[in-house]
Structure 1
C-alpha cells in the first residue's frame, strides 16, 4: 500500500514514500529561494515546486506504480476537527486562497497532493492540518467580549505521538487522556481527552512558553507599554519570529544557546532555564484541564534530544503522570498513517466544510 507524503516548507519540501509502514524514500527537496521570491502568492509556486519534486523522484528512481494515496500538509484552511480529510474542490479552493488568513507554504500541501494523485490515479488526503480546533467551549472564552481563544499547535505531530503511545499501552487514542508537548522551534503544549485535543496554547498568537523564536505569554499591559517605545508593528513578530531566545540571547539555535550557557553566558542560562520552567507550568495547567486524570505526559520535537530538558521536565511533572520522550517528530509518518487508516477502513474520511467549527454564543453577541 504505497503512500506519498508531501510537506512544503519555506524553501524546501519534505517528501517521503511509504509502502505500508516501511519508508522507501525520504528527501528534503531544496527550492531556489530567489526563484520562490519571484512568485507573488504562495499558491503561485505550485508548478515550480511540483517540477522540482518530480525531478528528485526521478533521480531517486522512485517507483510510484500502484500508488494508493498522496497526502499533503493541509495549510490555509478554516479551523476544523482533527482527522483525515479527502481533498475535494472546496478544500483546494480554500487552500489556494489561504482562507485562514495565514500565508504559509503549507497551503501547497493539498494542492501538490491533488496534482500527484491525479497523475497516478490515487486518492488525495490531508491529515490533522495545522488549524485543527477541538477546544471545549469553556476554553474559548476570554475576559474581552468579542475576543475568543483559538489554538495554533503542531497538531499533526501531537496527535500522532498520542496515537503511537496509546498503541504502545495496548489502548486506543480515544480511550486515553494525555498531555502532549512538541518542543522544537515552536513549543506546543496540549491536553488530549478521549481522542480530542480539548485545550492548548495559541503559539502563533503569543501564548504558551517562550521558545527559540517566540515570546510566549506576556501580560497585555506590559506589551502595550513596550510597544510605546518600540512600535506597535514590532509586537506581532515577537510572537513567532523575533521573540524568545532571539530576543533574550540573539540566537534561535538551542544547541548554540546551551553551549554558550555551559561556557558561562548568563543570558543563555536564564533563557534555557526559563523556557523549561514555563513548559512545566503549561504542562501543569493542562493537568488541571484533565482534572488530574492523565495517562501520560508525552514529549516530542527536536529539543527533546536534550537529556537535560527531559530530566528536568520529568522532575517537575513526573508526579502528575509518567513522562515519555519521543525525540524528533513523526510528521511524515503521521500523514502516511492517516491515509492508511482510511484505506484499510479503520477510519472514515472526513469532508471539509469550510465552515468554522465553533461560533460565539448568542449571549455574547456584540
Structure 2
C-alpha cells in the first residue's frame, strides 16, 4: 500500500488530500479570506502560512510527513512541456521561485511539497499548467513579439473529459469537447481527440472571473500603464487578484455575488456579464473545432451553482449537449499520477531534459 500526500493551492484556498493507493482517506480545504491574502501581496510570501496550514491539518488527523511514500503537488508554470508526471528537483524549485514568467499560485505547490519532503520523500507533479498541445494557428497574437501560450487547468480539464466520455460510452481520444473550468480563474478549452488544441490563458485572456480581469482592451491598458498612477506590481495585482468580481463587487465568492444580485441591480448585471463572457468564449472554441463538438462540459467550483450554470447554458445549449461536472478532480488525478510512478507503471520524467520540453 502506498500513502500519498496531495497538495493543491488555489487562488483563494489550499486543498490537501491523503490517498492510500486509489482510496481517498482525507480531503480538506482551507479557505483563505481576501483580508488574509492581502497581508501577503507577494505570492512567495504565502509559502509559510500555507505550509503551516497543511501541517496543522495533518497533525489534527494524526498524520506526520514521514508517514508518506510520496508527495503529489499541483504543477506550476514551467516552460512548455509534454503531458506526464515529473519528479520535483532543485532546478524546478529555482525556476518556480525566480524564473517563472507568471506569478501563479500553482507555483507554490511543488515548493511546499519539496520543503516538506526535505529530500527524503519523492515529490511529483502531473500535467502542469504549462502542458502544451496547442495547434500552430492558436499561437498567433497579432504581434510577432508576443506568442499566445498554453496555460490552463489541464489536469482537471482532462479528468472531466474522461468522465464524460465514460457517460457517452466512448473513448476520450475519439471525442471533441469544449470545457469551461470555472474557478478563481476561468479556462475555456477546445479538446480534439484527447489534446487541448486551444485554450485561453486564465490570467491574461478570456472571460473575467472572481479575481481576474480576463481579456482587456489593449489601448486602455497601455494608457493605464503610462498614466503614472500605478507601479508594475500594482497593475499586475489589479488584473490578477483584484480584478473581476473583486473589482466590481468587493468579493471573490460567487455565492455572495449571487446573493447580492437578488437586491442590487449592478451586482445582477455583473454576474450576468461573467456568464455572458463564458458563453462567448465557449462559442469561439466550438468554432475552433469546426462545430464538431460531442459535448460542452462545465466544471470547477462555480459549476456547483445551478443558477450560474443555467445562465451559461442559455448561451450555448444549441451548440452541443451540456454536461455539468461540478468541482475539481485534480486531487485524484495528482494522486493517481504519483501512484502510477510508485507502482512502476510509468517512469517519472525529469524536468529540464531537452526532449521532454516542447520546442
Question: Alpha carbon RMSD of aligned pairs, Å?
Answer: 3.6
Q: Does 1:237 align with 2:237?
A: yes
Q: Does 1:14 align with 2:15?
A: yes
1:294 CA displacement: 1.8
User: Secondary structure of the equivalent of 2:349?
Assistant: coil
Given that residues 223 and 235 in structure 1 are in contact (C-alpha distance below 8 angstroms), is that contact kept between their aligned partners in structure 2?
Answer: no
Q: Does 1:255 align with 2:281?
A: no
Q: Does 1:62 align with 2:60?
A: no
Q: What is the CA deviation profile of residues 198-257 of structure 1, one whole-angstrom value per residue up to 9, with x for unaligned ones?
A: 11112212x101212222223212434566668454643342123222333343332222
Q: What is the CA deviation profile of residues 265-300 of structure 1, one whole-angstrom value per residue up to 9, with x for unaligned ones?
A: 221121111111111110111111112222211111
Output the CA distance in 2 between the equivalents of 1:237 and 1:112: 23
Moved over 6 A (4+): 36-41, 63-66
User: Secondary structure of the equivalent of 1:145?
Assistant: coil
Q: Call closer, same or farther: CA 1:219–1:200 in 2, change over 3 Å.
A: same
Output the CA distance in 1 between the equivalents of 2:40 and 2:315: 48
User: Secondary structure of the equivalent of 2:320?
Assistant: coil
TM-score, structure 1 as length reference: 0.81
Q: Call closer, same or farther: CA 1:210–1:102 in 2, change over 3 Å.
A: closer
- Matches for 1:308-323 after TM superposition, within 5 Å: 308-323=307-322
Q: Call closer, same or farther: CA 1:321–1:272 in 2, change over 3 Å.
A: same
1:69 CA displacement: 2.8
1:80 CA displacement: 2.1
Alignment match, 1:128: 127
Output the CA distance in 2 between the equivalents of 1:150 and 1:49: 28
Q: Call closer, same or farther: CA 1:162–1:247 in 2, change over 3 Å.
A: same
Output the CA distance in 1 between the equivalents of 2:253 and 2:41: 29
- Matches for 1:215-226 after TM superposition, within 5 Å: 215-225=213-223
Q: What is the CA deviation profile of residues 38-78 of structure 1, one whole-angstrom value per residue up to 9, with x for unaligned ones?
A: 999838946x8656644542331237787443211222522
Structure 1, unpaired ranges of 5+: 360-366
Output the CA distance in 2 between the equivalents of 1:57 and 1:138: 46
Output the CA distance in 2 between the equivalents of 1:134 and 1:71: 23
Output the CA distance in 2 between the equivalents of 1:286 and 1:218: 19
Given that residues 43 and 108 in structure 1 are in contact (C-alpha distance below 8 angstroms), is that contact kept between their aligned partners in structure 2?
Answer: no
Output the CA distance in 1 between the equivalents of 2:313 and 2:236: 32
Output the CA distance in 1 between the equivalents of 2:52 and 2:221: 45
Q: Call closer, same or farther: CA 1:331–1:275 in 2, change over 3 Å.
A: same
Alignment match, 1:82: 83
Given that residues 179 and 287 in structure 1 are in contact (C-alpha distance below 8 angstroms), is that contact kept between their aligned partners in structure 2?
Answer: yes
Output the CA distance in 2 between the equivalents of 1:250 and 1:63: 38
1:149 CA displacement: 0.8
Q: Call closer, same or farther: CA 1:6–1:275 in 2, change over 3 Å.
A: same
- Matches for 1:77-156 after TM superposition, within 5 Å: 77-95=78-96, 97-104=97-104, 106-114=106-114, 116=116, 123-156=122-155
Output the CA distance in 2 between the equivalents of 1:185 and 1:53: 21
Alignment match, 1:364: none
User: Secondary structure of the equivalent of 1:198?
Assistant: strand
Q: Call closer, same or farther: CA 1:269–1:227 in 2, change over 3 Å.
A: farther
Output the CA distance in 2 between the equivalents of 1:239 and 1:50: 26
Alignment match, 1:181: 180
Equivalent pairs counted in the alignment come to 354
User: Secondary structure of the equivalent of 1:15?
Assistant: strand
TM-score, structure 2 as length reference: 0.83
Alignment match, 1:363: none
Alignment match, 2:207: 209
